[in-house]
Amino acid sequence: MARLAAAAPLARFLAIGVLSTLAFAPMLLLLRGPLGAAGANAAALALTAIGNTAANRRLTFALRGRTDLARHHLRGAAVFVLALALSNGALTVLHGIDASPPPGVELAVVVLGSALATITRYVAMKTWVFTRRAALLEPPSARRGRARPAGRR
């Protein structure tokens, strides 16, 4: 049962998110000095978003090859803007409370702000970013009763 749960798309999405956060945190702390909190957040989030989108495309949604690759990454970039807005919004609130908080507090607030975007990110990736173009062009009546491709639920 544990293997089935680990194989589920949501479990793979969450695992990729944890790995992205583990890559994001040290980048944020390293870039904070030269770029400031908001600049470091944007740079670290952008770098991890590229890898996150590629990993979710392949591992969570079982999409391989170059078909729609650019479209997927462009839509992933739009989802990145949502995460950036939420995490920078959280930083703005923090800096309104404390003008110079410790770096660890900034990191915690940014990670929590990004965590709020996670559910939206998953739904957006599942329903918009990684949709197949042909499926979008078919009328709903043509899709009823047909089995979904592997990796799609």
Mean pLDDT of 34-39: 95
**Average pLDDT of the segment spanning 104-132:** 85
Which among 54, 55, 41 has a CA at the least distance from the CA of 83? 41
**CB distance 107 to 29 below 8 Å:** yes
Is residue 140 a part of any domain in this protein?
A: no
Per-residue pLDDT, averaged over 95-124, amounts to 88
Q: What is the reported pLDDT for 31?
A: 96
- Does residue 22 form part of some domain? no
Average pLDDT over residues 115-121: 79
The whole model's pTM is what?
0.74
Cα 128 to its chain centre, rounded Å, is 13
Domain span including residue 78: 37-54+68-134
Number of domains present in the structure of the chain = 1
User: Does residue 141 lie within any of the structural domains?
Assistant: no
What pLDDT score was predicted for residue 38? 93
The reply to whether 100 falls in a domain is yes
Per the domain annotation, does 24 fall within a domain? no
Classify residue 31: in a domain, yes or no: no
Q: Does residue 17 sit within a domain? A: no
